[in-house]
Structure 1
Amino acid sequence: MSDTAKIISSPGAAGPVFRRHHQKADGRSLYLYGHKPHNLPPFPESSGKIAPGGELRWHPLRGEYAVYAGHRQNRTHLPNPADNPLAPMRKGGGETEIPFTDFELAVFDNRFPSLHRDAADPPTADETHQRLAAKGKCEVIVYSADSETRLSNLTMEQRILLVEAWIDRYTAMREMGLAYILPFENRGTEIGATLHHPHGQIYGFPIVPKPQEQAAKVFANGFDLVSAMDSWGEAQQVAANGTMIAMVPPFARFPYECWIIPKTALPGPWTFSAQQVSDFADLLGRMQAAYDALFTRPMPYMMSLHAAPTEHDAPYHFTAQFYPMLRDAKRVKYLASVEQATGIFTVDIAPEEAAEHLRAVFA
């Protein structure tokens, strides 16, 4: 069952953005985003049962939750190109998650969610073993129908579409009352990516995770990231355009960690102007290209968008944070005993030196 395409954003630098909703045979939602309305007919789909999430358990010594979702053990793992579940469906071919012959950008409910709106309440436990239903939302966002695309070789119009889709999903999940929304990308098998087709994910949490809760408190207590960036100076700067700046923070925990930061404090992309959408999309692509140029190979990384929690819009300063997993061309940055046990990272390159190296390859 599909709805007709609707305009979800006013015309900006790349024109209007359309969204079409398609309900899959198993009940999950699929959203098709594009600069043109999507009107293709769907292929028939098989129905099946989707596991409704897991549960959250409190760690009393760390003061944070962990998610337990045993059904994720069976998720798709590095399939052959012919079995790519993120590709468009072809007549006579196998079934994929997107039952159309083409699309510009797609978002769908994850088949193997850690968090689900219908997650069951766990058995009652005492306060020491606090357990909660993992009620939330897990979505997959597919950047393009082409499995060879990546952030750096998407067109500007495609990257703008990605940012607009993120904004739409932020808005939808915040309206659902989810406490924290985290769009992210795991790139490369070194970081555990299980599908080669370029894509990201979006998690909507029922609680605010500990690092994001701490960040909200710091901003509420008066931390000014604009003033901090001024104090860091040019040694930390990698690149900039009209409204955005890419910087290696002086407290970076990963070798070559870099943040894309609006030049003015904004709680999240849902407050971006059309120019800020365009400038953010620009630096996203150039950032990935610089990483790939750094060691002349695709850089495995974790990338996440850090916006304000739903109940804490301001004061807050949005950042997009890249955590690369290589410290040189053939050496992975492992999170070993010290990092895992204490949260104190051992970094093999000074942030100022990392910024200098990235500036040299930033196009």
Structure 2
Amino acid sequence: MTADIAHLNTLAGSLYRRHFVKADSRSLWLYGYEPHDLEPLAEEGGEPIHGGSLRWHPLRQEWNVYASHRQNRTFKPSAADDPLAPSKPGGAMTEIPFADFELAIFDNKFPSFHPDVVAPAETIPGMALHRPGGKCEVVVYTPAQEGSLATIGQERRLLLVAAWIDRYEALFAEGHKFVLPFESRGEEVGVTLHHPHGQIYAFDVLPPVQQNMTASFREGYDLATEMVSWGERYEVTRAGGLRVVTPPFARFPYETWIVAEDAVPGPWAFSTEQVDAFAHLLGDMTRRYDSLFGRPTPYMLSLQAAPVGEELTFQFTTQFYPLLRSPDKVKYLASVEQSTGLFTIDIMPEQAAAALKDI
């Protein structure tokens, strides 16, 4: 065992984490049930790519990030050029310079945010500009090129949850204000890499959605109590102190949330039973969506945990936003929704809950 391999006693069990610095100075973390001690394969060096700026939108009251270097990011590579697969000795190098791994997280090569980015040199009269500090990471669920949260199995989902929690702790310790693990699945969502993976963004400014959520919880909104009051009409399933519900205020057809019956600020506050249930429900809901639509369902998935300093009132949720309203009909965010933020929903939340519950 080398010095860069750490043993972790996690809520998901005994795990190992290996930290490796790539040839271009980006970090790679390898998580597994066994210590990862393979020798690295040769890889190309180079300088990390980052830059850009945050610009304040005075009418929408929000920051937007401008990162022109992302225009050249990887776009729909062939299976032979999959950058998230293990590297092959004597073959093409990938982002992971090892012949095998269990689960991997690495610094995004084309980040929207970066801790070393400098303040914008330009000035625009009347506009506030800010450096896009923060961090962007890629989470590779499995070395296999195909799969989903439903098919990778409970042990790997538990490993994923443990890795998320580990990165939450590390990114908060680095001084970031808000951390968002997420997954975009399917070309309808804009996915350009089909290898099973997600991402983690660490923000140095609190986005407007999370500002509003934080304010609501501070003012006393109790989601856990509200969820119980909705009754079984909005419940899809439950396990280990967690429930899956379609909120009465859902904005997407078949939108669901995973919510703890006793509120927690983030997955790091789960019990061992809740971690097991959470990992199960991530797979179960993906399976239900795919069964409902008879195809791999495109969705947006996000873990909404407390920003720094809001742990006493914020209530953790995991939110699925499917992009289908039927097997062959995509839910588009069209002109009215994009222009006003007022969503039009074609499926009543209680109907969605009933359909998903029956699967």
Maintained 8 Å contact 2:224/2:259: no
Runs of 4+ in 1 over 6 A off after TM superposition: none
Q: What displacement does 1:3 show?
A: 4.4
User: 1:226 deviation in Å?
Assistant: 1.5
Structure 2 equivalent of residue 284 of structure 1? 282
RMSD over equivalenced CA pairs, Å: 1.2
- 1:55-78 CA distance string (max 9 Å, x none): 110000000000000000000001
Give the residue type in structure 1 aligned to 2:131: A
Counterpart of 1:7, as a letter, is H
Amino acid at match of 1:31: W
Pairwise CA distance, 1:124: 5.9
User: Number of aligned pairs?
Assistant: 358
After TM superposition, list the pairs within 5 Å mapping 1:39-188 onto structure 2. Answer: 39-123=37-121, 125=123, 128-188=126-186
Amino acid in structure 1 at the alignment position of 2:76: L
Query: Which position in structure 2 is the counterpart of 1:257?
Result: 255
Q: Supply the distance in 1 between the matched residues of 2:129 and 2:152 (Cα, whole angstroms).
A: 42
Give the aligned residue type for 1:270: W
Aligned match of 1:22: 20
Amino acid across the alignment from 1:306 = Q
- The amino acid of 2:355's aligned partner reads H
| Corresponding residue to 2:196 among 195, 198, 216 | 198
Counterpart in the other structure of 2:323: 325
> What's the secondary structure of 2:30's corresponding residue?
strand
CA contact (8 A) 1:139 1:201 kept: yes
**Structure 1 alignment gaps of length 5 or more:** none
Q: For residue 343 of structure 1, what is the aligned residue in structure 2?
A: 341
Q: Given that residues 254 and 353 in structure 2 are in contact (C-alpha distance below 8 angstroms), is that contact kept between their aligned partners in structure 1?
A: yes
Query: How big is the shift at 1:123?
Result: 2.9
In terms of mean alpha carbon deviation, does 96-105 or 125-134 score higher? 125-134
Give per-residue Cα distances to partners, 1:32-77, cap 9 Å, x unaligned. Answer: 0001111111001110122223211000000000000000000000
Structure-2 separation of matches of 1:37 and 1:322: 33
Aligned to 2:355: 357
Which amino acid in structure 1 is aligned with residue 166 of structure 2? Answer: D
TM-score (norm: length of structure 1): 0.96
Return the alpha-carbon distance in structure 1 between the equivalents of residues 187 and 8 of structure 2: 34
**Equivalent in 219, 222, 234 of residue 221 of structure 1:** 219
Secondary structure at the counterpart of residue 223 of structure 1: coil
Out of 294, 302, 323, which is 1:304 matched to?
Answer: 302
Identity among equivalent positions (%) equals: 53
Q: Distance in 1 between matches of 2:325 and 2:51?
A: 35
Asked if 2 retains the 8 angstrom alpha-carbon contact of 1:181 and 1:203, the reply is: yes
Q: Tell me, what secondary structure is at the counterpart of 2:176?
A: coil
Paired residues of 2:237 and 2:244 also in contact (CA < 8 A): yes
Cα distance, 1:318 vs structure 2? 0.2
Contact 1:248-1:257 within 8 A present in 2 as well: yes
TM-score, with structure 2 as normaliser:
0.97
Structure 2 counterpart SS, 1:129: coil
Q: CA deviation at 1:91?
A: 1.3
SS where residue 358 of structure 2 aligns?
Answer: helix
